[in-house]
Amino acid sequence: MNKKWMATLAFSALLLAACGNNEEATTANEEATADVAQTAEERLITDQLGREVAVTETDRIVTGGLLPYPSAWYFATGSGEEIVGMHPNSYSATENSILAKLAPEMLDASTAFVKNGEMNIEELMNINPDIYFELSTDEKTIEQAEKAGIPTMGVKTFDQSDAEPLATYTSWLELTSEITGKAERKDMFIEEGDAAQAIIDEKLATVDAADKPKILFLYGASADALTVTGANFFGEQWIKATGGIDVAAEAGVTGRKDVNMEQIYEWNPDIIYITNFTPAQPEDLYTNGIGSFDWSTLDAVKNKQVHKVPLGIYRWYPPSGDAPLMLKWMAQKNYPALFDYDMNEEIKAYYTKFYDYNLTDEEVDSILHPVSEAAKVTK
Amino acid sequence: MKLWTKITLFLLPIVIALVSIGIGRFSVDFTTTVQILLSQVFPIEQTWTEMEETVVMQIRLPRIILAILIGAGLSIAGASFQGMFANPLVSADILGVASGAAFGASLGILLIGNGIAAQGLALVFGLLAIVFTNIIGGVGKKMPVFMLVLAGIVTTALFEALISLIKFVADPEEKLPAITYWLMGSLGTASYQDLWLAGPLIVIGGGILLAVRWRINLLTLPEDEARSLGISVGKLKWVVIFAATLVTAASVAVAGIVGWVGLIIPHVARMLVGNNNERVLPVSVALGGAYLLIIDTVARSVTATEIPLSILTAIIGAPFFAILLRKTGGGWS
């Protein structure tokens, strides 16, 4: 009796496995094997984990948990054709950003290989990537992809030793230009970023430490939790680079953490920035629209100094190709009297220079005032 | 227990509340705090800022009241379960109520967002969980108590698996942190709205338990003996279970899972006053309210970031409980 059962079970398992294994996967497997065979143009590229990765082709790029990377690829190469697969969260950011207009071909990318935040290796093999980019911290996924014969680059999102907000993005562009051999746009970016920072540093040299604004980055705001970001996170870098005081970092908050309203009262920031990772908008604070929190007594709210972080080629809070613009935008919000440039013109000029795209006034407005839907990260 | 000990015990939560309202991340003078509180009743000229008043009246006061209510509620529910089953191991967490309610609330956060829906679902699933446990464990029948504890473990395992499933499908940026954080218990966003939602249920459930507390003693007697005293055992059991579940589910609905309180406070109470539930229940109310209030005051004021309650209840509670156990031998005879 027992044996019969076992046999039936084993048979059903086989049947199930056979059904699940679709044809494409097999083809991809064969192609992958074929790729390994022709090692003629193989190059060794060192990724940010210090691993040497053998790369042959660069025509099919898939990006995983490193969410801003598809836009970085586009930025570094001027082309989105190669991006054939990306994380669903990258996709929603792309779809809701100007990138959808600059590189509409990126919207053809597949997102099927990530479900509920987990990568499915067989689905990834279906896409048959030449290179797969993944967070350097996600060692499990990197190992899995490597085992499947996919050249995989581990990339760092945040380097704590870098105080400078553009450093992370620059490192991505350097890696990308090494892979593609195109360095021109990377150099332009570094130049533009240095120039923006130089202007800011020069003007801020006259500012007294006591006059610096107290700044809070609100990462998430809902009836359930108020999340802020502190030290060792992008917010602190932006604040330092644009001459503010990060109240959360000063109070010992690191990374992103939940705090209570009383703590926010205690900080009583002069300026609050709301990231693109939450649907919350400045209006929600002005009108006390979140849970039962009362924001009205905060200085930032009284003086209407709550700003939603813009969303251009990517969310401006993490590293993005628009990072020099983020510097200029934030510096102006922090010190409106010192920085009198027209942000709309700055954005237009930057987009013409880097993306060869002439923005309309409406498009500039949608960058500066992103819709709440752009926060949605799952599809 | 002497009269003055009794008075001290029941004044304890109130005294701690008065101290607690002056503590927090935002500094408000103690005298200002008192003035603000008094000004709600008496006409006092306002010498304080809007912000100070908001902190005291809108942030701290509802949170403190909720902490006392939930601490008291979880403790009386735990004491009732322990008394009813004459078993020191049972508590609302162990019978599956807490995980059932937690599942309901996670489901609410996942599907609808938050607020009333999550809290309503917490109640529904908390009750479902205890019904489920009772079906497996066979309440009212001649079943050994360990059956019920095992049934509770089964129920807990089932709902915990369902919670994991929800965490698995939840949006990792926005919803997952909310669910995870909430599962560790927090009063970080406590408001009057939460108070109006959970308060009445806790008071009603707790009131019922206090009213029948003397009869809970009888539940441990053999059934025919209890019957000879004119008590319908079956009905009484269900009343106690329903009331204790109501209290627990309402607590979970607004504060998430706060572990340990329902288990250890009744033990401490028994160490103080012995096994008679007529005394154990009221003492549990006073001790539980005071305990969770202290814990929550620590959670909200020690660091800039909120500390989840369950971490503190276990870290402070477990060693304290261990020492008490060694000293008294558990107080359960």
CB contact under 8 Å between A262 and B59, yes or no, is: yes
Q: Does A231 touch chain B (CB under 8 A)?
A: no
Q: Which two tokens stand for residue A57?
A: 């082709």
CB contact under 8 Å between A222 and B114, yes or no, is: yes
What was the pLDDT predicted at B139? 59
- Count of residues for chain B? 333
Alpha carbon of A344: minimum distance to chain B alpha carbons (Å): 30
Among the four given CATH numbers 1.10.3190.10, 1.10.3470.10, 1.10.240.10, 3.40.190.10, the one describing domain B3-328: 1.10.3470.10
- Whole-angstrom distance between the N-terminal and C-terminal Cα of chain A? 47
φ, ψ at A83 (rounded to 5°) = -75, 100
DSSP for B27-96, please give it.
---HHHHHHHHHHTTS-----S-HHHHIIIIIIIHHHHHHHHHHHHHHHHHHHHHHHHHT-TT--TTTTT
Rounded CA gap, B129 and B160, in Å? 11
Q: Which of B26, B109, B177 sits opposite A262 (nearest CB)?
A: B26
Mean per-residue pLDDT, A241-269: 94
Alpha carbon B302 to its chain centroid, in Å, reads: 22
Rounded CA gap, A352 and A375, in Å? 26
Q: Does A250 touch chain B (CB under 8 A)?
A: no
CB contact under 8 Å between A224 and B49, yes or no, is: no
| Strands (DSSP E) found in chain A | 43-46, 52-55, 61-63, 83-86, 114-115, 118-119, 131-135, 152-155, 214-221, 226-229, 245-246, 256-259, 271-274, 306-308
Q: Are A216 and A269 in contact (CB under 8 A)?
A: yes
Residues of A in contact with B109 (CB under 8 A): 224
Residues of B in contact with A291 (CB under 8 A): 115, 189, 191
Alpha carbon of B15: minimum distance to chain A alpha carbons (Å): 22
Q: Which of B63, B53, B61, B54 has its CA nearest to residue B32?
A: B53
Residue B87 has pLDDT above 70, yes or no: yes
* B90 or B309: which leads in pLDDT: B309
Query: What band does B136 get if pLDDT is binned at 50, 70 and 90?
Result: confident
Q: Are A230 and A246 in contact (CB under 8 A)?
A: yes
Query: What band does B64 get if pLDDT is binned at 50, 70 and 90?
Result: very high
Q: Does A204 touch chain B (CB under 8 A)?
A: no
DSSP for B257-283, please give it.
---SHHHHHHHHHHHHH-S-HHHHHHH
CB contact under 8 Å between A223 and B189, yes or no, is: yes
CB contact under 8 Å between B181 and A258, yes or no, is: yes
CB contact under 8 Å between A265 and B50, yes or no, is: no
Mean per-residue pLDDT, A170-179: 93
Mean per-residue pLDDT, A173-183: 92
Rounded CA gap, A89 and A114, in Å? 10
Rounded CA gap, B128 and B134, in Å? 10
CB contact under 8 Å between B58 and A294, yes or no, is: yes
What was the pLDDT predicted at A271? 98
Chain segment B149-164, per-residue pLDDT in tens: 888 899 999 999 999 9
Q: Does A379 touch chain B (CB under 8 A)?
A: no
Strands A214-221 and A245-246: parallel
Q: Which of A258, A263, A298 sits opposite B25 (nearest CB)?
A: A263
Residues of A in contact with B108 (CB under 8 A): none
Q: Which two tokens stand for residue A210?
A: 């006591």
Mean per-residue pLDDT, A359-377: 84
Q: Which of B54, B168, B305 sits opposite A297 (nearest CB)?
A: B54
Q: Which of B54, B182, B304 sits opposite A259 (nearest CB)?
A: B304
Rounded CA gap, B284 and B286, in Å? 5
Residue owning tokens 């108070």: B195
Residue B231 has pLDDT above 80, yes or no: no
Q: What is the mean pLDDT of chain A?
A: 86
Q: Are A292 and B114 in contact (CB under 8 A)?
A: no
Q: Which of B58, B169, B304 sits opposite A253 (nearest CB)?
A: B304
Query: What band does B118 get if pLDDT is binned at 50, 70 and 90?
Result: confident
Residue B114 has pLDDT above 70, yes or no: no
Which residues 6+ apart lie within 8 Å of A208 measured at CB?
none
Please, which residues bridge with residue A231 across strands?
A: A254
Provide the number of CB pairs (under 8 Å) joining chain A to chain B. 104
Residues of B in contact with A266 (CB under 8 A): 25-27
Q: Which of B76, B108, B72 has its CA nearest to residue B92?
A: B76
Whether this model's ipTM surpasses 0.85 comes out as no
Query: What band does A189 get if pLDDT is binned at 50, 70 and 90?
Result: very high
Chain segment A283-309, per-residue pLDDT in tens: 999 999 988 899 999 999 999 999 999
Q: Which two tokens stand for residue B220?
A: 């441990």
Q: Which of A253, A260, A377 sits opposite B171 (nearest CB)?
A: A377
Q: What is the mean pLDDT of chain B?
A: 86
- Whole-angstrom distance between the N-terminal and C-terminal Cα of chain B? 19
Q: Does A255 touch chain B (CB under 8 A)?
A: no
What was the pLDDT predicted at A6? 53
Query: What band does A376 get if pLDDT is binned at 50, 70 and 90?
Result: low
**Torsion angle of C-alpha atoms A337, A340, A346, A347, degrees rounded to 10:** 40
CB contact under 8 Å between B188 and A294, yes or no, is: no
Mean per-residue pLDDT, B229-242: 81
CB contact under 8 Å between B304 and A294, yes or no, is: no
Q: What is the pTM of this model?
A: 0.82
Q: Are B57 and B40 in contact (CB under 8 A)?
A: yes
Mean per-residue pLDDT, B189-201: 89
Interface test with A, best of B60, B119, B305, B309 (most A CBs within 10 A): B305
Residue A31 has pLDDT above 80, yes or no: no
Residues of B in contact with A227 (CB under 8 A): 177
DSSP for A201-226, please give it.
HHHHTTS-GGGPPEEEEEEEE-SS-E
Q: Are A132 and A150 in contact (CB under 8 A)?
A: yes
Query: What band does A9 get if pLDDT is binned at 50, 70 and 90?
Result: low
What was the pLDDT predicted at A22? 43
Q: Does A46 touch chain B (CB under 8 A)?
A: no
Q: Which of A152, A113, A97 has its CA nearest to residue A130?
A: A152
Rounded CA gap, A292 and A287, in Å? 11
Q: Indicate the SS3 state at residue A306.
A: strand
The C-alpha angle A85, B174, A263, rounded to 5 degrees, equals: 140
Chain segment B13-31, per-residue pLDDT in tens: 999 999 999 999 998 888 8
Mean per-residue pLDDT, A313-324: 90
Q: Which of B58, B173, B304 sits opposite A277 (nearest CB)?
A: B173
Mean per-residue pLDDT, A180-188: 91
CB contact under 8 Å between B177 and A227, yes or no, is: yes
Chain segment A129-153, per-residue pLDDT in tens: 999 999 998 889 999 999 999 999 9
* B142 or A301: which leads in pLDDT: A301
Query: What band does B281 get if pLDDT is binned at 50, 70 and 90?
Result: very high
Percent of chain A scored above 70 by pLDDT?
87
Query: What band does B6 get if pLDDT is binned at 50, 70 and 90?
Result: confident
Residues of A in contact with B177 (CB under 8 A): 220, 225, 227, 258
Please, which residues bridge with residue A259 across strands?
A: A226
Chain segment A307-317, per-residue pLDDT in tens: 999 988 888 99
Taking any CB pair shorter than 8 Å as contact, residues of chain B touching chain A are: 24-27, 49-51, 54-55, 58-60, 109, 113-115, 168-169, 171-174, 177-178, 181-182, 186, 188-189, 191-193, 300, 303-306
Mean per-residue pLDDT, A62-78: 92
Q: Residue B301: what residue type?
A: S
What was the pLDDT predicted at A18? 46
Q: Which of A10-14, A122-126, A160-164, A350-354 has the lowest mean pLDDT?
A: A10-14
Q: Which of A271, A331, A263 has its CA nearest to residue A299?
A: A271
Going along chain A from its start, the domains and CATH numbers come out as 24-180 (3.40.50.1980), 189-310+323-336 (3.40.50.1980)
Q: How many CA atoms lie within 13 A of A195 on its CB side?
A: 9
Mean per-residue pLDDT, A82-105: 89
Q: Which of B194, B249, B205 has its CA nearest to residue B61?
A: B194
Mean per-residue pLDDT, A326-335: 96
Residue B60 has pLDDT above 90, yes or no: yes
* B38 or B109: which leads in pLDDT: B38
All structural domains of chain B with their residue ranges: 3-328
Rounded CA gap, B324 and B104, in Å? 35
CB contact under 8 Å between A262 and B169, yes or no, is: no
